[in-house]
């Protein structure tokens, strides 16, 4: 991969990293404020509980994406970025433009998803 492409993806990853950190911080602050509010009845409690579940799920997913971004940024410094972790072939530029923290090429991603779904069905 050319240096200009690496620079492009590094910038893309860094921008997304900042967005995710802002999102996670915002969710944590919002949940802290909600916990301080007085709950007047069961409906208030139910709404807060539901919001808490949704926010936790979003934060968990974004935390996972943040970890994948960190790995990708490290790979850039090690000249290993853009290689499939399964077959070691180059991941296509169009795929990286859609998901710059992709670990697998398209073919291997499908294999990994099938393996994960089989493990989940046990």
The CATH number given to whatever domain includes residue 15 is 1.20.120.910
Residues 6 or more apart whose CB falls under 8 angstroms from that of 52 comprise 31, 34
Q: ∠ CA 44-46-48 to the nearest 5 degrees? A: 70
The per-residue pLDDT for range 67-76, each reduced to its tens digit, is: 999 999 999 9
Residue-range definition of the domain harbouring residue 54: 3-120
- The structural domain count of the chain equals 1
- Per the CB < 8 A criterion, the answer to whether 100 and 12 are in contact is yes
pLDDT per residue over 37-50, tens digit each? Answer: 666 666 766 766 77
Statement: the pTM of the whole predicted model exceeds 0.75: yes
């Amino acid at each position: 991969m050319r240096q200009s492409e690496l620079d492009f993806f590094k910038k893309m990853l860094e921008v997304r990293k900042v967005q995710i950190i802002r999102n996670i911080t915002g969710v944590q602050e919002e949940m802290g404020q909600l916990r301080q509010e007085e709950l007047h009845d069961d409906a208030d409690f139910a709404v807060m509980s539901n919001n808490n579940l949704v926010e936790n799920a979003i934060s968990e997913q974004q935390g996972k994406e943040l970890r994948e971004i960190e790995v990708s940024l490290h790979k850039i410094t090690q000249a290993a970025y853009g290689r499939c972790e399964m077959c070691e072939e180059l991941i296509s530029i169009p795929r990286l433009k859609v998901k710059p923290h992709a670990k697998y090429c398209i073919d291997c991603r499908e294999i990994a998803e099938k393996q994960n779904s089989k493990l989940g069905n046990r």
